[in-house]
Amino acid sequence: MKSFKLLCLSAIALLASCGGNQKDINKLGLDTSAPLNTLTDKEKAAGWELLFNGKNMDGWHGYNLNSIPSCWTIEDDCITMNATDGSESQDIITDKIYKNFILSLEYKMTPAANSGILFQFKEDPKYKYPYETGPEFQVIDDKGWPDTLEDWQKNGGNYAMYPPVSDANKPIGEWNQIILIVDGNHVTQYLNGEKTAEYEKYSDDWTQKRNSGKWADYPDYGKYDEGNIALQNHGTKVWYRNIKLKELK
């Protein structure tokens, strides 16, 4: 077990140093030959857990709810949204709270779609949405979006904090792979094998961005070091599948 942990940490260091590519991401113990929404023996041995089985939403609930809101459904072995009017709606979150982890998932979008993956947020009735307290791996059709976007709003970035450093988007309708690594205060985001964002939480740079931008109006943003994982519903159509997570001890 110790040797695997060292191998995993070595792979994370390699990803960080070289910018990341698909070959190095596979060293994290993911098996690209796995059938849809399943774990292979290799992945189980590597410590991965499956967060969605393609059949039901066991292990998930609506933010500040005890059930799955009706605006979410399962379609073609994917988690997706029913609400498509473009307005903010109910997010779904994992039942379990995570601190240090690697998250892997796949998504595809319809034109002008908007969503995101959120983490390190607090589930509490005093907050209406997870983004009020936790960071977001931005998922958006920035090329098909009808309005002009700021750089920090674009796909693959850390929303309202760190713009994506590379454009790794696949065409609309194709599947994209996300890798999110939260290792202590160090967060790294990968899209389709390319590093798109990296930051150190509580660093001078992070604090300056947090206090001078959008989150200046959200006093509890970024104050939590653990939380659930959320899929955001912005009233547009996005499909999520192959949602897997490995906790880092």
DSSP structure string for the chain: -HHHHHHHHHHHHHHHHH---HHHHHTTS--TTSPTT---HHHHHTTEEES--SS--TTEEETTSSS--TTEEEETTEEEES--SSS----EEESS-BSSEEEEEEEEE-TT-EEEEE-S----TT-SSGGGTS-EEEEE-TTT-SS---GGGSTTSBTTTB--SS--PPPTTS-EEEEEEEETTEEEEEETTEEEEEEETTSHHHHHHHHHSGGGG-TTTT--S-B--EE---SS-EEEEEEEEEE--
3-7, 13-17, 222-226, 231-235: segment of lowest average pLDDT: 3-7
pLDDT of 72 over the 60 cut? yes
User: Distance between CA atoms of 8 and 45, rounded to whole angstroms?
Assistant: 12
pLDDT at 33 (0 to 100): 87
The 8-class DSSP code of residue 237 comes to -
pLDDT digits (tens, 9 = 90+) for 160-192: 999 999 999 999 999 999 999 999 999 999 999
Give residue-wise pLDDT tens across range 127-139.
999 999 999 999 9
Residue 27 pLDDT > 80: no
**Cα–Cα dist 136/121, whole Å:** 10
- 8-state DSSP, 214: G
**What pLDDT is stored for residue 7 in this prediction?**
42
pLDDT at position 22 is 52
pLDDT digits (tens, 9 = 90+) for 191-212: 999 999 999 999 999 999 999 9
pLDDT in tens, 32-71: 889 999 999 999 999 999 999 999 999 999 999 999 999 9
**Average pLDDT score, the chain:** 91
Half-sphere exposure of residue 95, counting CA atoms within 13 Å on the CB side?
A: 10
pLDDT-derived band of residue 24, with 50, 70 and 90 as boundaries? Answer: low
Who wins on pLDDT, 13 or 102? 102
- Check pLDDT > 50 for residue 86: yes
Query: pLDDT class for 2, splitting at 50, 70, 90?
Result: very low
